[in-house]
Amino acid sequence: MEWGSESAAVRRHRVGGERRDGPGATPQPEREAPAQDSLADSCGGGARTRKRSGAGSALSEAPAALGLALYLLALRTLVQLSLQQLVLRGAPGHRGEFDAGQARDYLEHITAIGPRTTGSPENEILTVHYLLEQIKLIEVQSSSLHKISVDVQRPTGSFSIDFLGGFTSYYDNITNVVVKLEPRDGAQHAVLANCHFDSVANSPGASDDAVSCSVMLEVLRVLSTSSEALHHAVIFLFNGAEENVLQASHGFITQHPWASLIRAFINLEAAGVGGKELVFQTGPENPWLVQAYVSAAKHPFASVVAQEVFQSGIIPSDTDFRIYRDFGNIPGIDLAFIENGYIYHTKYDTADRILTDSIQRAGDNILAVLKYLATSDMLATSSKYRHGNMVFFDVFGLFVIAYPSRVGSIINYMVVMAVVLYLGKKFLQPKHKTANYTKDFFCGLGITLISWFTSLVTVLIIAVFISLIGQSLSWYNHFYVSVCLYGTAAVAKIIFIHTLAKRFYFVNASGQYLGEVFFDVSLFVHCGFLIALTYRGLCSAFISAVWVAFPLLTKLCVHKGFKQHGAQGKFIAFYLLGMFIPYLYALYLIWAVFEMFTPILGRSGSEIPPDVVLASILAGCTMILSSYFINFIYLAKSTKKTMLTLTLVCSVTFLLVCSGTFFPYSSNPASPKPKRVFLQSCSSQHVTRTFHDLDGNIVKRDSGIWINGFDYTGMSHITSHIPEINDTIRAHCEESAPLCGFPWYLPVHFLIRKNWYLPAADVSPRDPAHFRLVSKERTPWDSVKLTFEATGPSHMSFYVRTHKGSTLSQWSLGNGTPVTSKGGDYFVFYSHGLQASAWQFWIEVQVLEEQPEGMVTVAIAAHYLSGEDKRSSQLDALRDKFPDWTFPSAWVCTYDLFVF
């Protein structure tokens, strides 16, 4: 099975002195090989037949390069078209149909309340009142076939989680609004729909997650007015403390009496603003849930690839899915809006930025899936179907393909066997052919790996240099810059390495023969990926199967039809047609990767160079997309113009980036891409106390505005606008204090090590935090039990560091076993609703060896995220100085440290 005509390129006997370029061609006398042939012999082995210049089968460079570029551009256009919202809405208010207009009305009312942090009147009173009011109206309109029950839950509890390096969470009197829709005679089983109505500080939270609650209200309305009776109950949970790291869902699933009815759930979330809602987690196991989505969803958008990427921990985020899975042992489906993550958790997350079509498609899908589950016999006996995982992926939003992972493994290994048979035939040719082919194959494999390695190294060198000169994120507001800089460099380096190999190593080999070899090499590499992914049990191995099966079929078909015509127009056309599916789907996934990761790199902290990450991703995409086009390098007459063009584009872009032409951020109202800055006006009080002495003295006291930039550029772009924020006020770590002595809201200290501390006047909140040692006692097992009491605002952080010779053995939080954060300190995240009693808890310290500096250091930070205490005059004045392309999220906090 060969690429081109039946010639010496096919037979490739490296003996004698002639080759045939086609039927009836005149044998050419062998000329003396040039000196570099000795280099070629090491890879090719033996004497080589020389190519005649101007062989008819060689491709013209310019048309071939332009054709490939247009081919990829056309595929990218098809991907873009498939991602557009093309939803036809039914008549507003039509019974049984989801009405996006009504859902939008809910959304606008909720976001008009403003930011809704847990514990604020906006969250605990105004939003709850609005939800109950709308639920009451829906209940009045409901059909007599259904019964609606409403409960407002105020749970208190604690749990530990390994998110962000691990910490413990404690919540008190937070709010859940729970609605149960069930048949008039009741139900023994239920499916849960979950959203959250709280938001992060300083953001209206339209996409995260008010739109989901709006969709759920409208789904509740439609189901309750339906003339079709449900078999099972549908529980709608509007939870009021998800942004507090999943507290409200924990309170519901571990304490609410209706939780025992739930057999499956759907969680609605957001990692962006609008667009399509992606199914990015299912299970665990329970493949029937995927089948339910496949059968019911009207506008499917799902991928097991997203599931495995998310669950790998690469994305620094988590959802209520984890709580229901880990604490409720309930399977479910996790959906999230992923587009336009640039304005996620910012002031720009407003209702007007969410397309009505986006609301409609989400509502159509949620309504259909909930109705399917609520009438399914499988829900009642879901435990019987808990077996194995599913491979699932949508085909450009048209439909979903899903099958059990064990079936996927069988398919994958069948594809592998097909490759083994195909390559095995090559390696089992007569000995004189096999020796030459084997040497060229492994030489080609080595060259391909070298080209990929040098491509990666090249873009990493550029990325590191760009980072060192302070021009990171130049592509954040202009994504094409990353393609022109890193993409062109990666492609140029791959072409360059293969051109060198063609010129110096494969001097006398036919282009058609080399095209054959490098196709086989690419097939072999993708087959290796397929084996590795399948062996590890990853469902996303189906991608490699696609990238092996379709090219192999294409190769066989092209060979049969065009073995007499060489690499001419028809061959190219049919070859590209055969690659249509793998390349189209690859671009579809690549879009999702960049849609998710590009915005995340703008909020990934000060320690991760975003250019290095993006350059690596682009290099990887280039390797994949170029793999089955490498053979065209050997079929083409030349690659000089292509390399020159790519080098020119890369060089010009590089110079423009170095000169600062591309500013990373934008305040464009149509498409803002702001820089995120956290400002905390802090009054910090460090109190050191002698051992067993509760009357220690203050050893340090200062006040200032603590500034954190959430991306790699730090304050480099800010200093010119606000000169007082410069490197002279860089904050220094207090080595003896937990988490460096700063009032971290969450334990992200390992992600953000560059921060600034601008001196400012003391802050005096109207509701100051109080922290005291209630008791200190020695236990019968010779440990010291310290009981504390704290009162303060709705959000506080508690930190613990044990001293040398001491260990924290247990405490009254979580499951009783202390969980350390990264760095070895202990972090507790506390929040409460509108009102709460004093927070009393204890820790137990095992003292192995008494030290003069005490046994433990503790600190508490009080965060004022709402109300008048949130602001200070100096904080407001500084925030107003920030340019409009930033999003400064500001609040007041206090910090107190003690030693015991």
How confident is the model over 764-774, as pLDDT tens digits?
Answer: 888 889 999 99
Cis peptide before 430 (omega within 30 of 0): no
The per-residue pLDDT for range 415-435, each reduced to its tens digit, is 999 999 999 988 887 776 677
Whose tokens are 């772009």? That residue is 717
CA torsion, points 265, 270, 275, 280, in degrees to nearest 10? Answer: -50
**For the residues of 371-396, what is the DSSP string, one character each?**
HHHHT-TTTTTGGGG----EEEEEST
Mean pLDDT value of segment 1-27? 38
Supply φ then ψ for residue 461, to 5 degrees. -60, -45
Q: Band of the pLDDT at 560, cuts 50, 70, 90?
A: low
Cα separation, 153 vs 174, whole angstroms: 8
Among positive and negative, which fits the CA dihedral 195, 110, 206, 225?
A: positive
pLDDT value at residue 698: 76
Cα separation, 405 vs 249, whole angstroms: 30
At residue 48, does pLDDT exceed 80?
A: no
pLDDT value at residue 569: 72
The per-residue pLDDT for range 69-125, each reduced to its tens digit, is 999 999 999 998 888 765 644 444 456 789 999 999 999 999 999 999 999 999 999
The per-residue pLDDT for range 810-831, each reduced to its tens digit, is 999 999 999 999 889 999 999 9
Give me the residues paired with residue 802 across strands: 856
At residue 334, does pLDDT exceed 60?
A: yes
pLDDT value at residue 582: 96
Mean pLDDT value of segment 868-874? 89
Of 267, 349, 277, 281, give the one whose Cα is nearest residue 315. 281
- Structure-model confidence comparison of residues 732 and 796, the more confident one: 796
- Lowest mean pLDDT segment, chosen from 361-370, 402-411, 679-688, 720-729: 679-688
Angle among Cα 796, 699, 843 to the nearest 5 degrees reads 40
pLDDT value at residue 647: 96
Supply φ then ψ for residue 816, to 5 degrees. 100, -15
pLDDT value at residue 612: 97
Identify how many contiguous H helices and E strands the chain contains and give both numbers. Answer: 24, 22
pLDDT value at residue 635: 87
- Structure-model confidence comparison of residues 381 and 32, the more confident one: 381
Give me the residues paired with residue 863 across strands: 795, 893
Query: DSSP label at 126?
Result: I
Percentage of the chain beyond pLDDT 90 is 68
Of 242, 308, 516, 595, which one is the catalytic site residue?
242
- Classify residue 801 by burial, with Cβ atoms within 10 Å: 0-12, 13-18, 19+: buried
pLDDT value at residue 317: 80
pLDDT value at residue 511: 82
Query: DSSP label at 51?
Result: P
Cα separation, 337 vs 176, whole angstroms: 23
- How far does CA 149 lie from the centroid of its chain? 37
- Classify residue 454 by burial, with Cβ atoms within 10 Å: 0-12, 13-18, 19+: middle
Of 824, 41, 868, 88, give the one whose Cα is nearest residue 435. 41
Task: Please say whether the beta carbons of 240 and 177 come within 8 A.
Answer: yes
Tokens of 431: 């000995």
Whose tokens are 């491509």? That residue is 455
- Structure-model confidence comparison of residues 413 and 764, the more confident one: 413
Of 362, 354, 349, 360, give the one whose Cα is nearest residue 599. 349
At residue 680, does pLDDT exceed 90?
A: no
Cα separation, 435 vs 441, whole angstroms: 10
- Lowest mean pLDDT segment, chosen from 80-84, 369-373, 785-789, 877-881: 80-84
At residue 16, does pLDDT exceed 50?
A: no
pLDDT value at residue 47: 36
At residue 468, does pLDDT exceed 60?
A: yes
CA torsion, points 188, 194, 197, 201, in degrees to nearest 10? Answer: 140
Q: Band of the pLDDT at 450, cuts 50, 70, 90?
A: very high
The per-residue pLDDT for range 337-396, each reduced to its tens digit, is 999 999 999 999 999 999 999 999 999 999 999 999 999 999 988 777 777 889 999 998
Query: DSSP label at 229?
Result: P
Mean pLDDT value of segment 866-886? 92
pLDDT value at residue 25: 39
Which helix or strand (DSSP H or E) is residue 27 part of?
none
Among positive and negative, which fits the CA dihedral 70, 72, 74, 80?
A: negative
Sheet holding 157-161: strands in order across?
Answer: 157-161, 167-172, 826-832, 795-802, 856-864, 886-899, 675-688, 697-709, 755-759
Cα separation, 396 vs 74, whole angstroms: 15
pLDDT value at residue 684: 54
3-state class of 527 per DSSP? helix
Tokens of 799: 């930190």
Mean pLDDT value of segment 501-507? 90
Task: Please say whether the beta carbons of 892 and 871 come within 8 A.
Answer: yes
CATH number belonging to the domain at 116-384, selected among 3.40.630.10, 2.60.40.10, 1.10.3720.10, 3.40.50.1110: 3.40.630.10
pLDDT value at residue 131: 98
Which helix or strand (DSSP H or E) is residue 709 part of?
strand 697-709
Tokens of 7: 């010639």
- Structure-model confidence comparison of residues 644 and 741, the more confident one: 644
3-state class of 334 per DSSP? strand
At residue 51, does pLDDT exceed 80?
A: no
pLDDT value at residue 312: 84
User: Which segments of the chain belong to CATH 3.40.630.10?
Assistant: 116-384
The per-residue pLDDT for range 603-633, each reduced to its tens digit, is 988 899 999 999 999 999 999 999 999 999 9
pLDDT value at residue 62: 87
Cα separation, 867 vs 645, whole angstroms: 58
**Residues whose CB falls within 8 Å of the CB of residue 28, separated by 6 or more in sequence, listed in order:** 18, 19, 50, 52
| 242 has catalytic annotation | yes
Of 526, 533, 661, 635, give the one whose Cα is nearest residue 586. 526
Cα separation, 163 vs 814, whole angstroms: 14
Cα separation, 851 vs 202, whole angstroms: 45
At residue 34, does pLDDT exceed 50?
A: no
pLDDT value at residue 347: 95
Cα separation, 545 vs 408, whole angstroms: 9
Task: Please say whether the beta carbons of 677 and 889 come within 8 A.
Answer: yes
3-state class of 547 per DSSP? helix
Percentage of the chain beyond pLDDT 70 is 89
Cα separation, 21 vs 2, whole angstroms: 14
Tokens of 88: 């036809």
At residue 3, does pLDDT exceed 60?
A: no
Exposure string over 602-631, b if 16+ CB within 10 A, otherwise e: bbbbbeebbbbbbbbbbbbbbbbbbbbbbb
The per-residue pLDDT for range 802-812, each reduced to its tens digit, is 998 899 999 99
Q: Band of the pLDDT at 49, cuts 50, 70, 90?
A: very low
Cα separation, 415 vs 541, whole angstroms: 12
Q: Band of the pLDDT at 9, cuts 50, 70, 90?
A: very low
3-state class of 637 per DSSP? coil
Mean pLDDT value of segment 468-491? 96
pLDDT value at residue 94: 57
Whose tokens are 């952080």? That residue is 797
- Classify residue 91 by burial, with Cβ atoms within 10 Å: 0-12, 13-18, 19+: exposed
At residue 526, does pLDDT exceed 90?
A: yes
At residue 679, does pLDDT exceed 60?
A: yes
Cα separation, 363 vs 361, whole angstroms: 5
- Structure-model confidence comparison of residues 45 and 121, the more confident one: 121
3-state class of 162 per DSSP? coil
Instruction: Tell me the average pLDDT of the chain.
Output: 88
Cα separation, 239 vs 216, whole angstroms: 12
The per-residue pLDDT for range 235-281, each reduced to its tens digit, is 999 999 999 999 999 999 999 999 999 999 999 999 999 889 999 99
Q: Roughly how many angstroms between the first and final C-alpha of the chain, as a whole number?
A: 79
